[in-house]
Amino acid sequence: MAYSRQWTHNNRKVTTRLLLSHTGGLGVSGFMGYEAGMPIPNLLDILDGKGYANNDPVRVESVPGSKYNYSGGGYEVLQLLIEDVTNQSFREYMKDHLLQELGMNSSDFIQPIGGPIKTRAASGHDAGGNVLPGKWHAYPELAAAELWTTPADLARLAIELQKAAATAGLC
């Protein structure tokens, strides 16, 4: 799913490290999701903010590395990068190289929600406390918004991140 957009600003390149730290200068902080039954855009439409996408285009808005700005859009660029480099879907790659490796057996990057996770997942609620129509919104923005997990699996991830930080001398 090659994408030809140039990710630069003032000759400064957006790097993987900058995207991971939300300092890549990309816009679109978060995503609203799609109610049950709504058409779902593909990743390229999400990045371009067209078709069924309900977000603005993901673009470089400030000089990469110049400031922190939370960017779910940047994580969607990372999703595309993983898919292009590995020739796997983001879901497959993350399952094989993260979730299974960490023993996160009750987690998945699945959209729409299905399988055993669907039977255990809490319903989504709006700001007024009402259950969402269809119980959940769909988020095709997998890297930014679609990890279904449990507290135990999330704790496994946190422990591994703490171990890595300690090994790197960051703690």
Among 3-12, 63-72, 95-104, 149-158, the minimum mean pLDDT is found in: 3-12
What pLDDT sits at residue 99?
Answer: 97
Q: What is the 3-state secondary structure (H, E, C) of the chain?
A: CCCCCCCEECCEECCHHHHHCCCCCECCCCCCCECCCCCCCCHHHHHHCCCCCCCCCCCECCCCCCCCCCCHHHHHHHHHHHHHHHCCCHHHHHHHHHHCCCCCCCCEECCCCCHHHHHHCCCCECCCCCECCCCCCECCCHHHHCEECCHHHHHHHHHHHHHHHHHCCCC
CA distance 19 to 26: 8
Residue 90 lies in a domain: yes
Q: Which domain holds residue 107?
A: 8-167
What pLDDT sits at residue 4?
Answer: 58
Residue 75 lies in a domain: yes
At residue 160, φ and ψ (nearest 5 deg) are -65, -35
14: left (phi over 0), alpha (psi -120 to 50) or beta: beta
Examine the pLDDT at 3 and tell me if it is beyond 70. no
What pLDDT sits at residue 104?
Answer: 97
Residue 158 lies in a domain: yes
Residue 1 lies in a domain: no
Reported confidence tier of residue 1, pLDDT bands at 50, 70, 90? low
Q: What is the CATH number of the domain that holds 122?
A: 3.40.710.10
Q: How many domains does the chain divide into?
A: 1
CA distance 19 to 76: 10
Residue 109 lies in a domain: yes
At residue 34, φ and ψ (nearest 5 deg) are -130, 130
Examine the pLDDT at 2 and tell me if it is beyond 70. no
Residue 2 lies in a domain: no
68-125 pLDDT, tens digit per residue, is 999 999 999 999 999 999 999 999 999 999 999 999 999 999 988 888 888 889 999 9
23-64 pLDDT, tens digit per residue, is 999 999 999 999 988 999 999 999 999 999 999 999 999 999
What pLDDT sits at residue 77?
Answer: 96
Residue 13 lies in a domain: yes
Query: Do the beta carbons of residue 142 and residue 91 sit within 8 Å?
Result: yes
Residue 3 lies in a domain: no
